[in-house]
Amino acid sequence: MNKFSSKDIIKNLLKASLAGAALLALSFTGASAAPSIPCGTAKLIVPWGAGGGTDVIFRQMVEKVNKSGAKPQLQVVNVGGQGGNKGAKQASKAKPDGCTLFAIHQSAITSYFTGRIDITWDAFETISMVTSTPSIIGANVNTPYNNISELVAAAKKAPGSITAGGTFGSTSQFVFLLLVDATGVKFKHVSYDGTKQRMTALLADNIKLGEINLAAAIKFIKAGKLKALGVTNDARLDQIPDIKTAEEQGAKVIFAVERGVVAPKGTSPEIVKHYAKMFEGAAMDKDFKAAMHKKGILINYKGPEDYKKHFQATYDYWKPIAKQVGVYKRKD
């Protein structure tokens, strides 16, 4: 019969513990089949400023990925300007070697439709869609309307006079175009380069309406400093259950900002799969999911092929709407 000293037992337990931790990290990052990526730290370009919705989501996700021991490590790099298009152009021109990733949402489609940029989502390799953030039709607290039904009635009485803030050509404007398409009303669109600027203008009564989200606006809504007229989800949000959906109010608008990660065109399938596994692990992490839920952000993970199909379907669905409301500027 073998005899082990207390030191041997402790040593063996430590080895087992380390092996288990390594296995856990391996399953999270997919490091066992890690392709050759020529950088110790890859940059994830976020094409908006620090503190905005996309920045907040991906900083938390990157922190989760890096703590898992991912290789390469990731670093968020903010490249703001031009309503997200400056960062998109930079990312699209990067080497397809796995050292540059890009945080994307449907503004890649709307900016292309409106002629603000000559590339769209298919200039990249899709990796992972991770979150969906339903929009809220927000209003300054001094406005006379308290819901979408009252807003539509007011807009019909004074077509094109109610100011609606959103980044021109981006999703924050497009949600109002969907409302226009659904109800036949018209708004006066005012462009701001990001969520923070739009929120500031809305709070200051420089605009009457603005596309907002729960993460940025919940404290103002609950403090009575902003009105939430309706949500564009297919169900009410747990955090503000008294606010009806747009559809409940007769406006069939289902919309969410769907954020994900892509890579420059030509990035190898092996690198794409490596990062997809990494982001899937982070998206499914219970602490990350809980943090997102508090902000009214839904986890909606899709892998590379499903994300590609989803982007194409969104493009095809929105194209005739963009033409119908008169913002489509392409020559096809």
d(CA 106, CA 110): 7
- Report yes or no: 109 and 85 within 8 Å, Cβ to Cβ: no
- How much is the CA Rg of the chain, to the nearest whole Å? 22
Report CA-CA distances (Å) from 18 to 6, 13, 24, 25, 115.
18, 9, 10, 11, 54
Helices 269-283, 286-294: axis angle to 10 degrees equals: 70
d(CA 102, CA 48): 11
Under the banding of pLDDT at 50, 70 and 90, the label for residue 13 is very low
Is the per-residue pLDDT at 2 higher than 50? no
99, β-bridge pairs? none
Per-residue pLDDT, 32: 42
Q: Which residues contact 52 (CB under 8 A, 6 or more apart)?
A: 194, 195, 196, 216
Mean pLDDT of 6-29: 45
> What digits encode the pLDDT tens for the residues 207-218?
999 999 888 899
d(CA 181, CA 238): 27
The tally of CA atoms less than 13 A away on the side-chain side of residue 198 is: 32
Q: Considering only CA atoms, which of 228, 229, 234 is closest in space to residue 247?
A: 234
Is the per-residue pLDDT at 33 higher than 60? no
d(CA 188, CA 326): 14
Helix (H) or strand (E) holding 96: none
The number of residues making up the chain comes to 332
d(CA 113, CA 105): 14
What token pair was written down for 256? 């969410």
d(CA 143, CA 277): 47
Is the per-residue pLDDT at 26 higher than 50? no
Helices 53-67, 269-283: axis angle to 10 degrees equals: 100
Query: How far is Cα of residue 17 from the mean position of the Cα atoms in its chain?
Result: 37
Give the count of beta carbons closer than 10 Å to the beta carbon of residue 191: 15
Per-residue pLDDT, 28: 53
Under the banding of pLDDT at 50, 70 and 90, the label for residue 158 is very high
- Location of structure tokens 């929120």: 199
Q: Which residues contact 72 (CB under 8 A, 6 or more apart)?
A: 37, 39, 40, 41, 42, 98, 99
Q: What is the mean pLDDT of the chain?
A: 90
Per-residue pLDDT, 21: 41
Can you list the domains of the chain with their CATH numbers? Answer: 38-131+259-324 (3.40.190.150), 136-249 (3.40.190.10)
Mean pLDDT of 259-285: 98
Report CA-CA distances (Å) from 164 to 45, 151, 265, 306.
28, 12, 35, 33
Helix (H) or strand (E) holding 18: helix 6-29
d(CA 322, CA 201): 26
Mean pLDDT of 168-187: 94
Least confident interval from 86-95, 304-313, 316-325: 316-325
The pTM score is 0.84
Under the banding of pLDDT at 50, 70 and 90, the label for residue 254 is very high
Q: What is the side-by-side order of every strand in the sheet holding 163-165?
A: 188-190, 163-165, 209-212, 136-140, 226-231
Under the banding of pLDDT at 50, 70 and 90, the label for residue 8 is low
Give the count of beta carbons closer than 10 Å to the beta carbon of residue 196: 17
Is the per-residue pLDDT at 300 higher than 90? yes
